[in-house]
Amino acid sequence: MTLNRTFFVFLLVVVCAGWAIFTMRPEALLMAFFLVLGFAHKHFRRSNRAVISAAALVALAPFSPIGITLSHSPAGPKLVECCPDRFLSPEHNQSAKESAKRGECHLCSDVVTGFEPKRYIVW
């Protein structure tokens, strides 16, 4: 494998990992981690299809409308939305925390990056 090709694959991996960190989506971060691990394997670096496919997955993962959480839901796995009116007052915040414990909604951040999912999978 030539030095130019190795540099291109390395650059692609670094850009994808940076993109995953910028978007702050756990799914993309996990995929970027495996992409970085794959870069260490010479068979992965030699396969154009594998490198491009993995990079495309990392690049497109933040646009998914469904996010994956590690939250527990007593009712089992289901799709939920963000808890409404969480930041209005301390009383609303407390009721949102209780709703999240019951698995009725997900506690979302007030930091908006533009890559937040609309729904979340709680387990």
Task: Clarify whether residues 52 and 89 are in a common domain.
Answer: no
- Average pLDDT estimate for 18-23: 87
Band (1; pLDDT cuts 50, 70, 90): low
Together in a domain, 7 and 59? yes
Do 53 and 104 lie in a common domain?
no
Q: Is the pLDDT of residue 69 over 60?
A: yes
Tens digits of residue pLDDT in 83-122: 887 777 777 788 888 888 888 888 887 777 788 888 998 8
* Three-class secondary structure assignment of the chain: CCHHHHHHHHHHHHHHHHHHHHHCCHHHHHHHHHHHHHHCCHHHHHCHHHHHHHHHHHHHHHHCCEEECCCCCCCCCEEECECCCCCCCHHHHHHHHHHHHCCCCECCCCCCCCCCCCEEEEC
Domains: count for the chain: 2
- 44/84 same-domain check: no
Tens-place pLDDT, residues 29-61: 888 888 888 877 777 777 878 888 888 888 898
